[in-house]
Chains A and B, each alone.
Chain A
């Protein structure tokens, strides 16, 4: 039997406690590996927010991730700007601005683009950006930007390890809570109604395009933030980060974890990356095929993702909107109730 409405918050709290305590008992290698997962979780959250909440199928989150990575890497290597308070926000800003412009073109036109068009356009943009970066010698061409120094935080180097881990965790929690708040607010309620039937939302006086545009822009910003952190953590930004592989990775994390739950996106990253690590150590050459088979089975038999196996559909749906506006229950005559209850469409 799948959990009640309290299951998801319980999972969230438990995961946060575990994430806070684990670095204290894990090895340096394991902490660095976990930090990478936290950074990828931001990328997954950005896609889940765009698709699961906004209904915008952004199949090109790699574009914003890679852009953030390049901005942080270039600032650090060319402008000697390694302050985490400057370089990482600028990486986020780059993703936000480019996503705003691209989203404006896709979503705010007189005839907004269809779901398929958005998916194809974002994927094509991601691929084009990868090709552009690979051919642009001033930003390292195919070799990318390597030797990115550690970011500095309060004058000290933030090396990969516990310090970096907790910075990444704090940012992930902040983004998670912000997305969680937005998806449960009146803003989220309009988006939920639009996912149900967009044209009917117009009949209630809403223009949904600006809502979707804002979601797309915010998702781009968070992907940029993730990319900026990645460049500092890995010491590298390359064309592949902008491309189809990264974009597809973001989609797969969310499909495996469960669309529209935020927690599922983070869970998807951990399950997929741990499975990759374990399988690659046991099956040196066949592991991608095995992993692909497992992912296929999950997507086929758990359409709501792994989180759908433990939480019911309704429990996954939040309570929306302004609770002050909650209508009063009106007592109804029981005999009347039976009449309507038996009516059928």
Chain B
């Protein structure tokens, strides 16, 4: 476990995502400072931090929604710092954003269909997604805007899975979700993390550390702590960094 802003390697060579020295700002306000982060091709990683620490900006910088002014992002060894989100999806990246992740005016089936159409050949099927989130199967003809918060998150995750991504980026997948459904989503995420790499940004610390093998803690745009989840969980400074 390390408590610095230096190298943050897992000690694994086969990385699906490599973020090096990432710096991002909105106007004149810098949000991320030299962020190094790596996700191995097998395993899951969590990013923790209090509100405003820069977690969502980090994911947006990785997927190309926000352009970093310094640093590099590589997916499966390919440099793609300036790439558009759709190009990254073609490289094997799936992204579930925090807000407005589903198309509210379309039905559940149409949301899934539009996800399946954009997926590369040989990707996952809708039936596999419905097997993972069977509750969606009862709501296929329902407009996504009328779903509960938990169902919307399930739909967004399921739709991202249709492209069979090598790396799934999840931004607060349990935010605004009823507590009983949080546990259900957590179980699915743990199962997902067995089959592909997951980069999870999450406020629920226990859930994140259960899902992820490795965790980073962001504090005001700096990586202040990182290491295997079991060690992070017991780190004496963890809750100091996460306290509101």
Given A203-B63, A314-B143, A343:B178 Cβ within 8 A: yes
Task: Evaluate contact between B140 and A336: CB separation under 8 angstroms.
Answer: no
Q: Mark B113-137, 1 if CB is under 8 A from A, else 0.
A: 1111111100000110111001111
Tell me the bound Cα distance from A96 to B173 in angstroms. 45
Q: Shortest distance in angstroms between A194's beta carbon and chain B's nearest beta carbon?
A: 9
- Please indicate which of the listed interface residues A193, A200, A337, A343 has the most CB atoms of chain B within 10 Å of its own CB: A343
Task: Evaluate contact between B130 and A327: CB separation under 8 angstroms.
Answer: yes
Given A327-B130, A330-B137, A340-B135, A193:B181 Cβ within 8 A: no
Task: Evaluate contact between B137 and A320: CB separation under 8 angstroms.
Answer: no
Given A207-B84, A317-B105, A320-B110, A340:B130 Cβ within 8 A: no
The 6 tightest CB contacts between A and B, nearest first, are A330-B137, A345-B149, A205-B118, A327-B126, A205-B89, A343-B178
Q: Shortest distance in angstroms between A124's beta carbon and chain B's nearest beta carbon?
A: 29
Q: Which residues of A contact B118 (CB under 8 A)?
A: 190, 201, 204-206
Closest to B113 in A: A321
Given A204-B114, A327-B137, A330-B130, A196:B176 Cβ within 8 A: no
Interface residue? A249 (CB, 8 A): no
- Please indicate which of the listed interface residues A321, A340, A342, A345 has the most CB atoms of chain B within 10 Å of its own CB: A340
Interface residue? A186 (CB, 8 A): yes
Q: Which residues of B contact A195 (CB under 8 A)?
A: 105
- Please indicate which of the listed interface residues B86, B115, B119, B180 has the most CB atoms of chain A within 10 Å of its own CB: B86
Task: Evaluate contact between B86 and A193: CB separation under 8 angstroms.
Answer: no
Tell me the bound Cα distance from A320 to B151 in angstroms. 22
Q: Shortest distance in angstroms between A189's beta carbon and chain B's nearest beta carbon?
A: 5
Given A190-B117, A193-B106, A202:B149 Cβ within 8 A: no
Task: Evaluate contact between B149 and A343: CB separation under 8 angstroms.
Answer: yes
Q: Which residues of B contact A (CB under 8 A)?
A: 63, 65, 84-86, 89-90, 95-97, 100-101, 103-106, 109-120, 126-127, 129-131, 134-138, 140, 143, 148-152, 159-160, 163, 176-178, 180-181, 184
Q: Which residues of A contact B (CB under 8 A)?
A: 186, 189-190, 192-193, 195-197, 199-207, 314, 317, 320-322, 325-332, 336-337, 339-345
Q: Which residues of A contact B89 (CB under 8 A)?
A: 202-205
Closest to A204 in B: B118
Tell me the bound Cα distance from A331 to B114 in angstroms. 23
Task: Evaluate contact between A330 and B178: CB separation under 8 angstroms.
Answer: no
Closest to B64 in A: A202
Tell me the bound Cα distance from A11 to B105 in angstroms. 24
Q: Which residues of A contact B117 (CB under 8 A)?
A: 186, 189-190, 321-322, 325
Tell me the bound Cα distance from A53 to B117 in angstroms. 18
Please name 15 pairs of A and B residues whose Cβ atoms are closer than 8 Å in the assembled complex, sorted by A.
A192-B110, A199-B65, A200-B103, A202-B85, A320-B114, A325-B117, A327-B130, A328-B127, A329-B137, A330-B131, A330-B134, A340-B184, A341-B148, A342-B148, A345-B177
Looking at the complex, which one of A196, A314, A332 makes contact with B137 (CB distance below 8 Å)?
A332
Tell me the bound Cα distance from A343 to B135 in angstroms. 12
Task: Evaluate contact between A344 and B149: CB separation under 8 angstroms.
Answer: yes
Tell me the bound Cα distance from A206 to B159 in angstroms. 13
Looking at the complex, which one of B90, B96, B130, B152 makes contact with A328 (CB distance below 8 Å)?
B130
Q: Shortest distance in angstroms between B29's beta carbon and chain A's nearest beta carbon?
A: 21
Task: Evaluate contact between A343 and B177: CB separation under 8 angstroms.
Answer: yes
Closest to B137 in A: A330
Given A328-B130, A337-B138, A200:B112 Cβ within 8 A: no
Tell me the bound Cα distance from A29 to B167 in angstroms. 67
Task: Evaluate contact between B101 and A200: CB separation under 8 angstroms.
Answer: yes
Q: Shortest distance in angstroms between A255's beta carbon and chain B's nearest beta carbon?
A: 19
Tell me the bound Cα distance from A337 to B112 in angstroms. 20
Task: Evaluate contact between A344 and B113: CB separation under 8 angstroms.
Answer: no
Looking at the complex, which one of B97, B119, B148 makes contact with A200 (CB distance below 8 Å)?
B97
Looking at the complex, which one of A201, A205, A325, A343 makes contact with B151 (CB distance below 8 Å)?
A343
Q: Which residues of A contact B90 (CB under 8 A)?
A: 205
Q: Which residues of B contact A331 (CB under 8 A)?
A: 134, 137
